[in-house]
Amino acid sequence: MKIIDAHLHVFPHEEYAERIARAANHENSLTHLKSVYEDLGIIGGVVMGNRPLEDTRPEYAPFLVYCVGLDRIPLGPEYVKKQAKLVEEHFQNPQCVGLKLYPGYQRFYIYEDWMEPFYELAVKYNKPVAVHTGLTASEDALLKYSHPFVLDEAATKFRDVQFIMCHFGEPWYTDAAAVIEKNPNVAVDLSGILEGKIPDFEAFTRKKHMYLERMRGWLEYLDCYDRFMFGTDWPLANLEDYIEFTKYMIPFEHWDDVFYRNAVRIYHLPFTGKEA
């Protein structure tokens, strides 16, 4: 089975990234990532961008494509014109497959009227908009901006935009399910739910049974496995664990869609299987 990692990060050699990679039994390096991808049959990945917006030719490795991220920059009506111009330059780069928003980490509602220029470009260039939803990794973030409900208003207002709810709104699965059921232009990635290395998967499923059963229950309720994508949030979690976890969550007959086909279709990926 071919696999695409629909959500990862490429961090420089900084203390935070080294630490989380080590905790996941990995190394924070592209060479290591490539070899783990090869071992596990992951043919490519979609990087959620964290680099400066001005860097419009970021040159990721050939087995990677990226979503340009609006990360750690001031956002608001006074900045949007200049930033939209840069986003458009990214969209003209064949390696750029979408836009990534970081609400929660950044204090803004994704459905604000002033966001419209970004969404117009997303429609014009046929690029999905991936949105961080759910819990955040830092305490100074604000969850009201990353609750899955913010996607309801954005998806309703900007109907022609293909949104991706990153992390399935974790742990607000009930609320996330309502937003997904109501809005056909919302797809989901299942990244960011694990972190570190799971020493014993059986023990993990016993300990977290309520959480895992609820999540699986809402997946079954939605029954739209053509809108869910495998993703790891590398370097946050062990990749082998992540595949096992996703197989545990998704019925066998939908593995091909969730691990591969949906990402190719939703992100319009160029991967052929020879990249990694």
Instruction: State the residues that interact with Zn ion by CB under 5 A.
Output: 48, 233
State how far the Cα of 49 lies from the Cα of 192, in Å rounded to an integer: 15
The answer to whether the beta carbons of residues 276 and 34 sit under 8 Å apart is yes
Q: What is the 3-state secondary structure (H, E, C) of 35-86?
A: HHHHHHCEEEEEEECCCCCCCCCCCCCCCEEEEEEECCCCCCCCCHHHHHHH
State how far the Cα of 86 lies from the Cα of 109, in Å rounded to an integer: 21
At its nearest, how many Å lie between Zn ion and the CB of residue 190? Answer: 12
State how far the Cα of 252 lies from the Cα of 166, in Å rounded to an integer: 22
Tokens of 169: 């709104």
> Quick one: 138 or 251, whose CB is closer to Zn ion?
138
Give the residues across from 164 on adjacent strands: 130, 187
The answer to whether the beta carbons of residues 269 and 47 sit under 8 Å apart is no
At its nearest, how many Å lie between Zn ion and the CB of residue 169? Answer: 14
The answer to whether the beta carbons of residues 5 and 45 sit under 8 Å apart is yes
> Quick one: 12 or 252, whose CB is closer to Zn ion?
12
The answer to whether the beta carbons of residues 132 and 102 sit under 8 Å apart is yes
- If we measure between CA atoms, which residue out of 190, 135, 162 comes closest to residue 7? 190
At its nearest, how many Å lie between Zn ion and the CB of residue 243? Answer: 17
Give the residues across from 53 on adjacent strands: none
At its nearest, how many Å lie between Zn ion and the CB of residue 9? Answer: 6
At its nearest, how many Å lie between Zn ion and the CB of residue 51? Answer: 14
At its nearest, how many Å lie between Zn ion and the CB of residue 274? Answer: 26
At its nearest, how many Å lie between Zn ion and the CB of residue 100? Answer: 8
Question: Minimal CB distance to Zn ion: which residue?
Answer: 233
